[in-house]
């Protein structure tokens, strides 16, 4: 793993993410339906291939108000997490895999072995976290992806919602690393990335063929 000292959501950060499988897209990379692969997988494959060929990120950048609220509240959430746990969170820019076109942007490193994954959801979603103490599948896969990239041993999933009474504003769920699950995800992620490689190679071969034809003509 290589750690890049960049500010998350900056131009440099977006450039590092272009063409790579990141934690936020991990669910789409291996998503299935009852009939096979989900359409979101093919869409992500096309997006990453385009980013590699063009050298530019193709995320829309669109944010709902709820998404922006979550981003704005993240510093408060991290401060509360530190107060509750007594642990210091180390900010991380972008972590890239040493050989695969993959990476992640953890919300923070905790000690030598931990991660923290902060969510600042709408009240109804936070309510569900409080009731069930269950992490939705897409976020489970994000955590697996971050385990894979960083090698860390546990992750604290931390939900924060300031509109609740103080004693209900936070829900912390610790997720331990399970090696068999990480290895299974790694195989799926690498298989997906191999398909992206094939897609890119096909386009580049086609462009070379066109260039040769133009030269002949």
pLDDT score, position 58: 76
What is the crossing angle of helices 39-54 and 179-216, to 10°?
50
pLDDT score, position 188: 97
Neighbours of 128 (CB within 10 A): 15
Tell me the domains of the chain and their CATH numbers: 2-216 (3.90.320.10)
pLDDT score, position 210: 45
Pairing of strands 103-104, 94-96: antiparallel
pLDDT tens for 71-104 read 889 999 999 999 999 999 999 999 999 999 999 9
What is the crossing angle of helices 179-216 and 137-150, to 10°?
80
Strands in 114-119's sheet, in edge-to-edge order, are 89-90, 109-110, 114-119, 154-160, 170-176
pLDDT score, position 57: 83
Flag residues of the chain having pLDDT under 50: 209-214, 216
pTM of the predicted model, to two decimals?
Answer: 0.91
Buried/exposed 85-106: b ≥16 CB within 10 Å, e otherwise: beeebeebbbbbbeebbbbbbb
pLDDT tens for 19-37 read 999 999 999 999 999 999 9
pLDDT score, position 206: 67
CA atoms within 13 A on the CB side of 87: 17
Neighbours of 3 (CB within 10 A): 14
């Amino acid at each position: 793993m290589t750690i890049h000292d960049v500010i998350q959501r900056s131009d440099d950060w977006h450039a590092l993410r272009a063409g790579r499988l990141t934690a936020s897209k991990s669910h789409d990379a291996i998503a299935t339906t009852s009939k096979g692969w989900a359409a979101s997988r093919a869409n992500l494959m096309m997006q990453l291939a385009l980013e590699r060929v063009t050298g530019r990120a193709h995320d829309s950048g669109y944010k709902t108000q709820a998404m922006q609220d979550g981003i704005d509240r993240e510093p408060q959430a991290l401060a509360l997490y530190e107060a509750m746990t007594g642990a210091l969170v180390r900010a991380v820019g972008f972590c890239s895999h040493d050989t695969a076109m993959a990476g992640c942007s953890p919300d923070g490193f905790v000690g030598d072995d931990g991660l923290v994954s902060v969510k600042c959801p709408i009240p109804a979603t936070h309510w569900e976290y409080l009731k069930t103490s269950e992490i939705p599948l897409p976020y489970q896969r994000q955590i697996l992806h971050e385990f894979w990239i960083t090698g860390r041993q546990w992750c604290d999933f931390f939900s924060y919602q300031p509109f609740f009474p103080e004693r209900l504003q936070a829900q912390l769920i610790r997720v331990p690393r399970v090696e068999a699950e990480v290895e299974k995800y790694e195989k799926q992620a690498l298989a997906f990335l191999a398909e992206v490689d094939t897609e890119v190679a096909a386009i580049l071969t086609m462009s070379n063929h066109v260039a040769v034809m133009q030269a002949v003509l």
